[in-house]
Amino acid sequence: MRSSRVVRSFVLASAFVTGLAAVAPAGASPAGTPKPQVVKSAGAIAPQVDQFRSLLGVDNGGAPVQSTTGRREINWDSVPDELAAPNALPADFFNATTEPRARGVVLETPGDYVAVSAKTGNPAGVPVRFGDINPSYTDTFRAFSEERLFSPVGSNVVNLHFNVPGTTTPAVVNGFGAVYTDVDKKESAAFEYFDAKNKSLGKFAVPVSKDGYSFLGVAFPSPIVARVKIVYGNNKLGPKDGKKYDVAVMDDFIYGEPQPRT
């Protein structure tokens, strides 16, 4: 009797493991998806950030002029005080029709809004690095490029959509990468890439770097990424934070030049 229970338990356990193996783990692309190049680092990330920049090409800035090659970047520091914390950042702030904000990006969240942290010496005296939400964040989070940071509020998810810079024409890019600060737990922060038909191109975990910097960049052989689902830790920013929570925020965004969908 004991032997039959052991065999039955082994069979059930084997079936469970097999079921898990069928699910693509973070860091893998579904079968049939073009294999991307992944650049990631934790701690001293500057060399990998520059490597990813070189992989995508020359910086095209923020002019409403489309190029067939190169990259765009966002570092948040051009956001004016009146659109920084504790206020909401308009989802299309970086999809303007004029330079320097024509960067072809729309930022949406299922939460309350997206936000950029306050800067030192702001007129309202708002604490920096999202200290207005939780005073401990001022010491926990660090800026990679001074000094504003980016995060959703009311959720830990942002959906990043691409347009041809300076227009509302939907676009695709060949890669996206970004800097995180304070990723404490494995696979609590991740990017999932989707094509124009909303098919997943793969989910990739951000490296852990407690109280430090993490970088993850994924580049595909051609422009196929229409949306990136960005997960910021395992919970939203908030006044109640503890050992069970891993909240993270972001700094620089780096992505391929948006191309019109075909």
Residue in the structure block whose two tokens are 């009311």: 154
Q: Which two tokens stand for residue 191?
A: 């990017």
pLDDT in the model for residue 127: 98
- Res 20: pLDDT: 23
d(CA 57, CA 2): 64
- Distance CA(194)–CA(165), nearest Å, equals 19
User: And the tokens for 142?
Assistant: 């660090």
Write down the pLDDT at residue 28.
Answer: 64
pLDDT computed for residue 2 by the predictor: 39
Of the options 2.40.128, 2.60.120, 2.30.110, 1.10.1060, the CATH number for the domain spanning 32-260: 2.60.120
Residues of the chain with pLDDT under 50: 1-25
Query: What's the pLDDT score for residue 12?
Result: 35
Amino acid 46: pLDDT: 97
- Residue 242's pLDDT is 67
pLDDT of residue 24: 37
Q: Which residues pair with 176 in a beta bridge?
A: 218, 255
Q: DSSP states of 227-247 as a string?
A: EEEEE-TTS---S---TT---
Domain segments of the chain: what residues?
32-260
pLDDT at residue 6, as a whole number: 37
pTM: 0.88
Single-letter code of the amino acid located at 43: G
> For the chain, give me the number of helices (H) and strands (E)?
3, 14
Report whether 155 contacts 133 (CB < 8 A): no
